[in-house]
Amino acid sequence: MDYVIAALIGLFVAVGVYFLLSRSVIRMLLGVTIFGNAVNLLIFTGGRLTREVAPIVPYGQETIAGAANPLPQALILTAIVIGFSMFTFLLVLAFRTYQALDADNTDNMRLAEPEDGCRPPLSY
């Protein structure tokens, strides 16, 4: 099972990186999301996959054997919340940039780095 998920993580990372290499901001956003989910899946698998027992110690006992690992779930929950808020911000930013610069293509975003910007000064 772990190997299947590992292959799936690899596929997700590959798709995410492929989208991130695009010049279109919307495709980059999709890439960021898929890449983020690959990482979430990786943390989940890193905590060892079990599907038998929920990590709740029964009443009257002190330990529980073979339970799912609760820590990766907590980590992923944090990462999902953060990743979602970042994605939302970047989505709004992409829209505002489209309105302000009339550009979805990163090659056309040249305000911060103008094409004639890097000519060395003439004097001295």
Partner 1 sequence: MAATSTPLPQAMIQTATAAADWVVVLPMALCLMGAALLLMTRRTRMFHAGLAMLFVVAIIACETVLFMRVMADGPVSMTMGKWLPPFGISFTADLFGAGFALTSAVVTLVLLVYMQMDRAPADNRDGQFAMVLLLLAGVTGSFLTGDFFNLYVWFEVMLIASFGLIVLGGRGLQLDGAVKYGFLNFIATTLFLMALGLTYALLGTLNMADIVERAPGANPAALAGIAALLVLAFGTKAAAFPVNAWLPASYHTPPAAVSALFAGLLTKVGVYALMRALVMLFPESRDLLEPVLAAIAIATLVIAPLGAIAETNLRRAMGFVVIGGIGVVISGVALPSAEGVAGSGFYIFHAILTMTALYLVAGLVEKVTGETDTRRMGGIYAANSPLSILFIVVVLAAAGVPPFLGFWPKLLLIQAGLARLDFAAGAAIDWTGLAMALALLVNAWLTLIAGTRLWAHVFWRAGSEGDRSEHQAARVRPLSQREGWLGFGATAALTAAIVVAGLMPNLAFETARVGAADFLEPSRYIAAVGLAPEE
Q: Which residues bind partner 1 (CB under 8 A)?
A: 20, 25, 28, 32, 35-36, 39, 42-43, 45-47, 58, 60-65, 71-72, 75, 78-79, 82-83, 85-86, 89-90, 93-94, 96-97, 100-101, 106, 109-113, 117-124
Amino acid (one-letter) located at 114: P
* Minimal distance, residue 75 CB to partner 1, in Å: 6
* Minimal distance, residue 69 CB to partner 1, in Å: 9
* Minimal distance, residue 40 CB to partner 1, in Å: 8
**Under the phi-then-psi rule, with left for phi > 0, alpha for psi from -120 to 50, and beta for the rest, what region is 54?**
beta
Distance (Å, whole) CA 26 – CA 20 = 10
Distance (Å, whole) CA 64 – CA 24 = 50
